[in-house]
Chain A
Amino acid sequence: MPAVIDRSALAAVALDEEEYGAIVGAIGRDPNDLEIGMFGALWSEHCAYKTSKALLRQLPTEGPHVLQGPGENAGAVDIGDGLAVVFKIESHNHPSAIEPYQGAATGVGGILRDVFAMGARPIAILDALRFGPLDSGRGRHLFEGVVAGIGGYGNCFGCPTVGGEVYFDEGYADNPIVNAMCVGLVRHERLRRASADRAGDVVLLVGADTGRDGIHGATFASVEMDERSGERRPAVQVGNPFLEKLLCEACLQLNELDGVTAIQDLGAAGLTSAAGELAHRGRCGIDIDVDRVSRREQGMSAYDVMLSESQERMLILVRPDAEASAREVFDHFELHADRIGTITGSGRMRVREHGIVVADVPLKALIDGVPLRAPAAAFAEKRLAPVMPLVEEPEAILLDLIASPNLRSRRPIYRTYDHQVQDNTVIGPGFDAALLRVPATNKGLALTTDGNSRYVALDPCEGTRAAVAEAARNIVCTGARPIAVTNCLNFGNPERPQVFGQLQESVRGLAEACRALELPVVSGNVSLYNETSERNIPPTPVIGMVGLLDDLSHRCPAGFQDDGDIVFLLGETREELAGSEYFRLLGAPLEGRPPIVSFEAERRLQTAMLDSIGRGVLRCAHDVSEGGLLIALAESALYGGRGLRCPGIAGPVSREATYFGESQGRIVVSVAPRRVPELQKLMAKHHVPLQAIGVVGGEDLQVGSDIRISLDTLRQAWETAF
């Protein structure tokens, strides 16, 4: 270890001394400042996954329809007709905590670029959001800023925001969660891999000029925050969705040119990461001349240029003889492109400034060489669920629940998002899953994000299994078959054993669930260090899932359709109240065992659902999740604008668990009276328990003598403003 090493310089890029030693070992000398900056960015948790990589190897990533698994800008799955669906979810938590509007906006911008870098046209955005309570000024500031930022970017770009979720919990008061998922479509033969394959190819940097914004954003996202994090505002980038729209159209045209060999988004760690990954994926090298990079301001150093996270920039690799035709495309969109370098066979990244080599590092070390971390893990002791008082006034509780921030209508949020542009939105936001038409076909794509962090906090493995199961149920309720998963793992500081234990268990649950449901994980993102002043967020894995519906005429809505239809509950209700919204409402401590998923039962339920929907037996289907059965019934009534007459719900469990328990593997369905025998036969065939609940009709939601609420009253509570 050289004596000259300055610890504060290492801390500034969040490297430790062991890592410094590894850099020296890899390059055979002490790195200069620029090289330390480059390694610091690429060896950050955000870029290198050094804490999570070993865990993630458990995930199933292959399947007969997978065209591209993790490791590229986004994953891709075959959906027939020569088309691939391309998708990924990513976090933008740290920037959003500092500057919510731009943090969220550039989160959307980044994930859009990941998808069109694959050659795919983005067709949908979904957002999974978590905030602290809205009664604090900061909570409201973050919530309003993030929602406005998502809308501001997506609306201007012209990609519909069709779904997602938002939950409020004290645990997110300091660190909001902002995860954005983008879904795109591309013909198989035009699916791109961002990989250099030949020395001599020309490296073009296109889009925005490079500024000083976002320098060390990747590093910033890899350390915990404190009261001084607000000073990191310069590490937050500023988005320009208009430029991104032009960039997208240009990239999609470039993607049709044979002489264009790769398209790579500039995201975290800017040019260093984009250029390094592009070259290293093809086991090539790359020479970059920073003098050729157009800049927003004077006096920028090579360090600034290499580590800037200015948005709306792409790297395009072209054969030398194709540069002119690529430039015609840029010219058409009035975009500026700099020829900043060349692909080499050296296996190294060499950076020149004023003709002098200012950085020269082996790519294998830079991209793949980070020493993996294996922190200590500790596991929380599981405690029994608290004993809570019996429900005295189910009606009042139902009204309070449906008006609560986690269960009330999301319409005030999603109506600020354009969810229709591109003319494919068949089922928009506000239901179990969104359903989009695949253009020029009769097929549909069902899209959802899910994750209940209360369950995960109680049991990280079970809670994550439940997130996957629920996402799959949401997809199945539309009639679509789940085909693949993307995930975003948002956790606290992994250097704390408790947090690393959560991460470890959560990934185990994710792997188990995806194997059990035969769902490949084709992309994902890990966001750690969601900690402020030693307070860590609740563990928050978010599952993004895509499903395929072969014939849109078989789609199934979530709301009651016709008076006289018979409502059934499919699946089994158990005495499971821990982690429920009901317990939260009562102020119960978060303790006990969360609802347990049986994948055996889950598979039977999902098969039975698809069988029934395919035969046109079901009139509607709605997943039972947060809030339990009464909330699911109330939602189906509100969606359809029709009441429900239920003589009473008997069950093997307490009234509380019957009404408000959140047992997994349950779906509320309605059928026309004459098809009831068929439904009963189908459920018997698939061994799915079903229970008659009531009859659709009237102006009230009525359950025995316990509940009689007019739909108007219910709607008023549900539509409580944020």
Chain B
Amino acid sequence: MVFPGTWSDRDCAHAVLDVLQEPVRYIDHREQSVDGLELIILPGGFSYGDYLRCGAIARFAPVMEAVADFANRGGLVLGICNGFQILQEARLLPGALLRNASCEFRCEWVHLRVEQSNSAFTLDSRPGQVLRIPISHGEGNFFAEPETLDALERNGQVVFRYCAPDGRVTADWNPNGSARNIAGISNAHGNVVGMMPHPERACEALLGGDDGLILFRSAIHALARVAV
């Protein structure tokens, strides 16, 4: 999905097309339909310059109605970084992403503990598995009301938490101040996932690691299951 100001579109396409050899189509923000697609990625970037509020303008893009329908029908949707912010603004995922607690942009490798392997994007992983994937954002501080957080935990919608390399979840390893170290969540059905880290940047050993592949491979397997 390409909004004005999106820039991880080419990186996501590289991961899916060049690395995993799966076909890719760029969706323009003005399209009315997403028919024929099996998986939609809302990539990172600064849609509309992040002016007003991250994702706040993009969610009004014509294509977003079709994306909401697609998601509500069980289609697989992954929102990465700015894409996560847009999914929240579109109310496809709960919570909000505030300015990092450090008040600074942060680009660095972090560790994520998989909390939930039932989501479409973590099927191939096991709970407790630690993935090394980079972050790159200024506003990734996950916030939700305590009741919402409790509900997310209860329903198994917390997909990733920031953690130490050995999997311990502590405040020291929380790069942005996110509530309960939450790095990624899903909707109730697990078909829509939003996360601040960039799995598409972790798909090749040459670039520092390929733990991100597990998300894309999981989605491909989830689609195969549906097809069967």
Residues of chain A having any CB pair with chain B under 8 Å:
151, 155-158, 240-243, 245-246, 333-334, 414-426, 437, 440, 552
Whether the Cβ atoms of B7 and A242 lie closer than 8 Å is no
In the complex, which residues of chain A have a beta carbon less than 8 angstroms from the beta carbon of B174?
Answer: none
Give me the 7 closest cross-chain CB pairs, A-B, nearest first.
Answer: A242-B49, A158-B7, A156-B46, A423-B11, A416-B105, A418-B136, A418-B107
Query: Bound state CA distance, A673 and B126, in angstroms?
Result: 41
Q: Does any Cβ of A come within 8 Å of B50's Cβ? A: yes
Give the shortest distance, in Å, between B215 (CB) and chain A (any CB).
15
Whether the Cβ atoms of A155 and B49 lie closer than 8 Å is no
Give the shortest distance, in Å, between B9 (CB) and chain A (any CB).
10
Query: Bound state CA distance, A417 and B138, in angstroms?
Result: 10
Q: Does any Cβ of A come within 8 Å of B59's Cβ? A: no
Query: Bound state CA distance, A156 and B138, in angstroms?
Result: 10
CB pairs A–B below 8 angstroms (15 shown): A156-B46, A158-B45, A242-B48, A242-B51, A243-B49, A416-B104, A416-B106, A416-B107, A420-B134, A420-B207, A422-B7, A422-B10, A423-B200, A423-B201, A423-B203
The total of chain B residues at the interface (CB under 8 A) is: 31
Give the shortest distance, in Å, between B102 (CB) and chain A (any CB).
9
Known contacts A415-B108, A416-B106; is-contact A552 B5 (Cβ 8 Å): no
Q: Does any Cβ of A come within 8 Å of B4's Cβ? A: yes
Query: Bound state CA distance, A418 and B198, in angstroms?
Result: 12
Q: Does any Cβ of A come within 8 Å of B117's Cβ? A: no
Whether the Cβ atoms of A421 and B7 lie closer than 8 Å is yes
Q: Which of A240, A245, A417, A424 contacts B105 (CB 8 A)?
A: A417
Query: Bound state CA distance, A155 and B14, in angstroms?
Result: 20
Known contacts A242-B4, A242-B5; is-contact A419 B107 (Cβ 8 Å): yes
Whether the Cβ atoms of A333 and B49 lie closer than 8 Å is no
In the complex, which residues of chain A have a beta carbon less than 8 angstroms from the beta carbon of B8?
Answer: 158, 421
Whether the Cβ atoms of B11 and A422 lie closer than 8 Å is yes
User: Residue-by-residue, is B67-95 near A (CB-CB < 8 Å gives 1, otherwise 0)?
Assistant: 00000000000000000000000000000
In the complex, which residues of chain A have a beta carbon less than 8 angstroms from the beta carbon of B134?
Answer: 420
Residues of chain B having any CB pair with chain A under 8 Å:
4-5, 7-8, 10-11, 14-15, 18, 44-46, 48-51, 104-108, 134, 136, 138, 198, 200-201, 203-204, 206-207
Give the shortest distance, in Å, between B209 (CB) and chain A (any CB).
11
Known contacts A420-B201, A422-B10; is-contact A415 B138 (Cβ 8 Å): no
Given contacts A245-B5, A418-B107, A440-B18, 18 further A-B contacts (CB under 8 A): A155-B138, A156-B49, A158-B46, A242-B51, A415-B108, A417-B105, A417-B107, A418-B136, A420-B107, A420-B136, A420-B207, A421-B8, A421-B11, A422-B7, A423-B11, A423-B14, A424-B207, A437-B206
- Chain A residue, CB-CB nearest to B13: A423
Give the shortest distance, in Å, between A242 (CB) and chain B (any CB).
3
- Chain A residue, CB-CB nearest to B47: A242
In the complex, which residues of chain A have a beta carbon less than 8 angstroms from the beta carbon of B107?
Answer: 155, 414-420
Identify which of A333, A423, A425 gathers the most chain B CB atoms within 10 Å of its CB: A423
- Chain A residue, CB-CB nearest to B9: A158
Whether the Cβ atoms of A246 and B207 lie closer than 8 Å is no
In the complex, which residues of chain A have a beta carbon less than 8 angstroms from the beta carbon of B48?
Answer: 242
In the complex, which residues of chain B have a beta carbon less than 8 angstroms from the beta carbon of A552?
Answer: 206
Q: Which of A241, A419, A425, A437 contacts B49 (CB 8 A)?
A: A241
- Chain B residue, CB-CB nearest to A240: B49
Whether the Cβ atoms of A156 and B136 lie closer than 8 Å is no
Query: Bound state CA distance, A552 and B201, in angstroms?
Result: 18
Q: Which of A156, A415, A426, A440 contacts B206 (CB 8 A)?
A: A426
Whether the Cβ atoms of A151 and B105 lie closer than 8 Å is yes
Whether the Cβ atoms of A246 and B138 lie closer than 8 Å is no
Query: Bound state CA distance, A383 and B207, in angstroms?
Result: 49
Whether the Cβ atoms of A425 and B207 lie closer than 8 Å is yes
Query: Bound state CA distance, A415 and B136, in angstroms?
Result: 9
Query: Bound state CA distance, A198 and B153, in angstroms?
Result: 68
- Chain B residue, CB-CB nearest to A147: B104
In the complex, which residues of chain B have a beta carbon less than 8 angstroms from the beta carbon of A158?
Answer: 7-8, 45-46
Query: Bound state CA distance, A418 and B48, in angstroms?
Result: 18
Query: Bound state CA distance, A414 and B108, in angstroms?
Result: 9
In the complex, which residues of chain A have a beta carbon less than 8 angstroms from the beta carbon of B106?
Answer: 415-416
Query: Bound state CA distance, A334 and B61, in angstroms?
Result: 13
Whether the Cβ atoms of B201 and A241 lie closer than 8 Å is no
- Chain B residue, CB-CB nearest to A335: B4
Whether the Cβ atoms of A155 and B105 lie closer than 8 Å is yes
Whether the Cβ atoms of B5 and A421 lie closer than 8 Å is no
- Chain A residue, CB-CB nearest to B8: A421
Give the shortest distance, in Å, between B192 (CB) and chain A (any CB).
24
Give the shortest distance, in Å, between A193 (CB) and chain B (any CB).
27
Give the shortest distance, in Å, between B36 (CB) and chain A (any CB).
22
Query: Bound state CA distance, A156 and B139, in angstroms?
Result: 13
Give the shortest distance, in Å, between B122 (CB) and chain A (any CB).
22
Query: Bound state CA distance, A270 and B197, in angstroms?
Result: 40
Query: Bound state CA distance, A417 and B134, in angstroms?
Result: 13
Query: Bound state CA distance, A437 and B14, in angstroms?
Result: 13
Whether the Cβ atoms of B207 and A423 lie closer than 8 Å is yes
- Chain B residue, CB-CB nearest to A426: B206
In the complex, which residues of chain B have a beta carbon less than 8 angstroms from the beta carbon of A243?
Answer: 49
Give the shortest distance, in Å, between A162 (CB) and chain B (any CB).
11
Query: Bound state CA distance, A422 and B203, in angstroms?
Result: 13
In the complex, which residues of chain B have a beta carbon less than 8 angstroms from the beta carbon of A419?
Answer: 107
- Chain A residue, CB-CB nearest to B134: A420
- Chain B residue, CB-CB nearest to A242: B49
